[in-house]
Amino acid sequence: MDDPTLHVVKKMEQVLTELNVGVSVYNIYEYRNGISTLPNTLKEADGIILATTVEWLGIGGYMTEFLDACWLYGDKDAIQKIYMQPVVMSTTYGEREGVLTLENAWEILGGLPCSGLCGYVEDIAGFEVNSDYEKIIEKKAENLYRTISQKTKGLPTSNQAVRNNVMRERSVELTPQESELLSDKVSDDRYVEQQNSDIAELSGLYKQWLVEDFSEPNTEYVKDFKSHFAPQKGFSASYMFLIEGKELPLIIKINEDALFVGYEKETDTDVTAKLSPEALSAIVAGRKTFMGAFNMGDMPAKGNFRMIGMLDNVFTFGS
């Protein structure tokens, strides 16, 4: 009710339907408990309209969550082929800034932006019956259709360079199936609550261990890995764990039944992971798996994703 953006989207949907375009509409508010799964709906799309109303300052929080989900769990290869048209109406101020925000976000994601539509609406009733405004909306919908049909290209932008730099530093190469699995986990409230509870409990335990000074800086965790080593035939890999508070990384080298575990200077490894002492203590205690820590963001990593998954087979802490 009283939302000018809904009127604009409905009119654009009518125009696109008349042009024999298949249109699916998702009200993000209705999917607020599963926003992280919405990027999966983009897989078969040629174009997307991101529409929001500025009621106070900037685009809405749910739209921001959706864009975050696209960055974290979206299929980047699919997004690179999708045209996006922003639609931002305002009842206060900031519609132009809203369009710019959506365009910048989509370009950083790697997608293709289209000319957007924005406007200030003071009288919603008058806006909906204005024939001149209706023609402008129709033209914007037709422009989106032509842009996608003709596969219109644009010049390179600095946003694309930003995306490449950010992805180079933080990226973990995931397949679309792996990204979908991660998004499902994050959207499971019970799973997230349990993980947060475990982390809080382990954090308290580790603080207690520090006070009692049970740890040995140069040998901590080494015996745990050696005593839970389960060789896998034909499997060889090397891992480097950057543990907060440790001057040297923990290096693990596996060559079938041969195992090396120790603190050494940084070197080239198949997988590099960063985690806190609390997270690693939870893993060696069997309360958490390596993949569980990775999925929850407690163990950012880069390298061969499948070798990360093999850690739980090679080291049987949960057994």
- Note down pLDDT in tens along the chain; length 319 residues: 578 999 999 999 999 999 999 999 999 888 888 888 889 889 889 999 999 999 888 888 899 999 999 988 888 889 999 999 999 999 888 999 999 999 999 999 999 989 999 999 989 889 999 999 999 999 999 999 999 999 888 777 776 666 566 554 444 556 666 666 666 666 666 766 777 777 777 766 665 555 544 444 568 889 999 999 999 888 899 999 999 888 889 999 999 999 999 998 877 888 999 999 999 999 999 888 888 888 888 899 888 777 888 898 899 887 6
pLDDT score recorded for residue 247: 85
pLDDT of 215 reads: 45
Backbone dihedral region for residue 175 (phi beyond 0: left; psi -120 to 50: alpha; all else: beta): beta
Cβ contacts of 123 within 8 Å, gap of 6 or more:
none
Minimal CA–CA distance to 131: which of 122, 142, 139?
Answer: 139
* Pairing, β 83-90 against β 47-54: parallel
| Per-residue pLDDT at 174 | 61
pTM here is 0.52
If you search the block for the tokens 């349990």, which residue do you land on? 194
Instruction: Please list, in sequence order, all residues whose beta carbon lies within 8 angstroms of the beta carbon of residue 292, skipping any fewer than 6 positions away.
Output: 195
Domain ranges of the chain: 4-178, 211-314
- Beta bridge partners, 119, equal 89
For domain 211-314, the question of CATH label 3.30.1050.10 is answered with yes
A 10 A CB-CB count for 302 gives 16
pLDDT value at position 89? Answer: 94
- Give residue 184's pLDDT: 65
Residue 260 tokens, joined = 């090396």
165 to 13, 56, 106, 169, 175: CA distances (angstroms) = 37, 33, 16, 7, 20
Pairing outcome for strands 250-255 and 258-263: antiparallel
- Compute and round to an integer the Cα radius of gyration of the chain: 25
Q: What are phi and psi of 120, to 5 degrees?
A: -100, 130
Look up the CATH number of domain 4-178. 3.40.50.360
Q: What is the pLDDT of residue 171?
A: 46
Q: What is the per-residue pLDDT for 226?
A: 92
